[in-house]
């Protein structure tokens, strides 16, 4: 059985842009989405797309909007 460190190292090699946040290994999944922003206060006239950002832990699969929303523990799958 592989150790946790070698598994994390393997994931880091496959995802060089991943960052360690607490117990999580996180990638930024920022992408352009079509249409106006879903939050009315962030819409502007003539908006055809908006930038949506979320973070995803590549170890446990948690998807959150900010680092502070990540669970305390990383339940690696």
7-33 burial by CB neighbour count: b if 16+ within 10 A, else e? ebeebeeeeeebeeeebbbbbeeeeee
DSSP output for 39-61: SGGG--TT--EEEE--EEETTT-
> What pLDDT sits at residue 1?
45
> Strands (DSSP E) along the chain, which ranges?
19-21, 24-28, 31-34, 49-52, 55-57, 63-64
- pLDDT the model gives residue 75: 84
Tens of pLDDT, residue by residue, the chain (77 residues)? 455 555 555 555 677 888 999 999 999 988 999 999 999 999 999 999 999 989 999 999 999 998 999 999 998 75
């Amino acid at each position: 059985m592989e150790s946790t460190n070698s598994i994390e190292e393997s994931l880091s090699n496959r995802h060089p842009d991943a960052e360690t946040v607490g117990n999580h290994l996180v990638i930024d999944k920022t992408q352009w989405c079509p249409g106006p922003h879903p939050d009315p206060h962030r819409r502007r006239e003539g908006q055809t797309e908006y930038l949506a950002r979320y973070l995803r832990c590549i170890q446990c699969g948690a998807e959150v909007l900010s680092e502070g929303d990540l669970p305390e523990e990383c339940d690696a799958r």
